[in-house]
Chains A and B, each alone.
Chain A
Amino acid sequence: MVRVDGTSSGESLIQIRGLEKNYSRAGEEIHVLQGLNLDVGKGEFVAFMGPSGSGKTTLLNLLGGLDTPSRGSITVAGDEITHMSAGKLTQWRARHVGFIFQMYNLLPVLTAFQNVELPLLLTKLSKSERKQHVDIALEIVGLANRSNHYPRQLSGGQEQRVAIARAIVADPTFLLCDEPTGDLDRKAADEILDLLTRLCKEHGKTILMVSHDPLAADRAGAVLHLNKGALVEAQGVGGPA
């Protein structure tokens, strides 16, 4: 169950308490996130919506350990990440987070297979074990027959599916999707959303997604609306918004 009232059900996979993020720009203090509370259970699909500058991507970066908060805490699967060193955070990211970006961000010099294999290079898996994992990930996203293709030989939708395969191949604790359909046409976007929904429902993946697209948000079990760094509306949650 997703909760935003700061009370924990005790089964939260992700727990955010009093999260604040402030920037200083030209001597002016900018409050990007203001005292956010959030609890997300395992296997939930949560969408964050809101206008540009509302703090969605900042929240995602904090959840992914790419940035550090000004105040508050983030706990994932029992690990509080807000006070981890940069080195520890890097290791934590490799083990727990799968990133999916709007622009796919595949490495152009690597084939689909090699792109998906990248996170596994950080593990102690043997070459054959890595191959097995990559084959499964590409099979799940429906691109087993495109494993030797380079990103330039794939459509936008296919590239994003490879990026999803890369995100899930190491079986991370949760997936962070930043506008995963933002660069795709409707048909391709629907295919990606179908895939994410399937990953959540059939494979039990916890997904946190930022999107401007209401149709994308419709696929999520809970939708949280942010504005000026604060939660202004929530649907499908277990506590008051």
Chain B
Amino acid sequence: MKYLHFLRVNLFRKKIRTGLTIGSFAIAMLLFGLLVIVRLAFNQGVEVAGADRLIVMNRITFIEPLPISYMDRIAAMPGVKAVTHATWFGGTYQDPKNFFPQFAVDPESWHLMYPEYLVGDDQWKAFLGDRQAAIAGAGIAKQYGWKIGDRIPIEGTIFPGNWEFNLVGIYTGATPKDDVTQFWFHYDYLNETLKQAGGRSWVDHPGWYVVKLDNPDDAANIVKKIDQTFANSDYETKTDTEQAFAENFAKQVGNIAFILEAVGAVVFFTLLLVTGNTMATSVRERTAEWAILKALGFSDRFLLFFVLAESISIALIGGLLGIGLAKLSTAWGSPAPSVLPLFYLPADQMLVGVGVALAVGVVAGLLPALSASRLKVVDALRRV
């Protein structure tokens, strides 16, 4: 502690240079934080996918439906605990750019399938009692300023028309990773409206099934069984684990993780050079001072750790600043909820960020620290 003042005054002797280096660190760590946020957003489906759930969809494409009769047939298979279905509605709210996932669901089985989505008992009761009722995720409700009792108009795209829903509940996630940007309403409302309109292709044909297994270890067998059961029918199925489904969905956007990691690596390599250069210049400028400190009796090891402490301090201040800014950027939610429904920076990733900053600080400071510690007093004083 007695060296803290000495460290501080040395660190800020060139305020502009130190400030710019800290700024570089802060921007790099902000970028790191944002990359992590985006990567998590793209992978959130994969990360929260239930290990014991399967997705059954149309073999041709997931936007083609499946017959409602499949529900009972799948439910009757050994090893299947529960089945539900959902249909992608694909509407917009007030403006075409206000897009978020809307699902027509079978309420009872949906609720049992996804215990991670938390809805108050009263709200759920109200949902069951009203055919036009809807439940929205807390994230999307916050974004549009919805509250329970609001009437929500949705402009249909796949199912044209102006659809109106009564918002009776708002769900939250059991963990921060759970998607709270969905909008659920009754499949019956969709199905019966389509029937009345004389529609044919989507009547009694939900979009996909979600299957809960008694034992996740049976997943491979049951996947095979389901697809074999419906093979050579008008509606062949393609069944995957929920995780594989989410991964395939994410891959349609491209190998986001690779792109983000490549950008991150370039940023940190550049940061290493910037900080290393700052420390090397700073140490070189103080050659005479290191010599004096050595002459006074300060050890080589002291100088090594002192220079490293300066480098680490820069990294830590910049790192905390950048990570703090990244965290702050999530305070107002996702800037594009339809593309990135989840927009958060978890504590463990913040710690990883601080760790990365510290590692860069150590590596950047190591060579200058070694040169200061190995300095020969006589040679250094001769140069003064």
Contacts and interface: CB of A to CB of B under 8 A. Distances in A.
Interface string B373-384: 000011001001
Nearest to B288: A105
Given A67-B378, A103-B384, A127-B2, A109 B10 contact: yes
Contact of A119 (B288, B297, B300): B297
A93 B300 CA distance: 13
B112 interface: no
A197 to B, nearest CB: 24
A122 interface: yes
A66 B10 contact: no
Contacts of A127: 2
B282 to A, nearest CB: 12
Highest count of chain A CB atoms <10 Å: which of B2, B294, B296: B296
Highest count of chain B CB atoms <10 Å: which of A86, A90, A118: A90
A70 to B, nearest CB: 14
Nearest to B9: A109
Contact of B297 (A94, A101, A114): A94
B13 interface: yes
Given A101-B381, A105-B288, A118 B10 contact: no
B313 to A, nearest CB: 15
B289 interface: yes
Interface string B171-212: 000000000000000000000000000000000000000000
A105 B384 contact: yes
B249 interface: no
B97 interface: no
Nearest to A94: B297
Contacts of A105: 288-289, 292, 384
B337 to A, nearest CB: 50
Contacts of A232: none
B305 to A, nearest CB: 14
Nearest to B291: A105
A241 interface: no
A91 interface: yes
B292 A114 contact: no
A31 B381 CA distance: 21
Interface in B262-281: none
A114 B295 contact: no
B377 A66 contact: yes
Interface string B280-304: 0000000011001111111110000
Contacts of B294: 90
A107 B296 contact: no
Given A66-B295, A109-B10, A121 B5 contact: no
A214 interface: no
A63 B251 CA distance: 72
Interface string A88-107: 00110111000101010101
A90 B298 CA distance: 7
B258 interface: no
B297 A90 contact: yes
B292 A122 contact: no
A64 interface: yes
Contacts of B298: 90, 94, 122
A121 B5 CA distance: 12
A100 to B, nearest CB: 11
Contacts of A64: 295
A184 interface: no
Contacts of A27: none
Interface in A63-95: 64, 66-67, 86-87, 90-91, 93-95
B332 interface: no
A112 to B, nearest CB: 14
B5 A114 contact: yes
A118 B5 CA distance: 12
A178 to B, nearest CB: 8
Nearest to A108: B13
B6 interface: yes
Contacts of B384: 103, 105
Nearest to A90: B299
A61 interface: yes
A1 interface: no
Interface in B1-28: 2-3, 5-6, 9-10, 13
A87 B299 contact: yes
Given A61-B378, A101-B381, A107-B289, A93 B295 contact: yes
Interface string B113-133: 000000000000000000000
B9 to A, nearest CB: 4
A136 interface: no
Contacts of A108: 13
Nearest to A58: B378
Nearest to A61: B378
A195 interface: no
Nearest to B286: A107
B298 to A, nearest CB: 7
A110 interface: yes
B297 A95 contact: yes
A99 B295 contact: yes
A165 to B, nearest CB: 13
B104 to A, nearest CB: 69
Nearest to A163: B292
For the complex of A and B, the 5 pairs showing the least CB-CB separation, nearest first, are: A94-B297, A109-B9, A66-B377, A105-B292, A93-B297
Given A121-B2, A127-B2, 18 more contacts: A64-B295, A90-B297, A90-B298, A93-B296, A93-B297, A94-B296, A95-B297, A99-B292, A99-B296, A105-B288, A105-B289, A108-B13, A110-B6, A114-B5, A118-B296, A119-B296, A119-B297, A122-B296
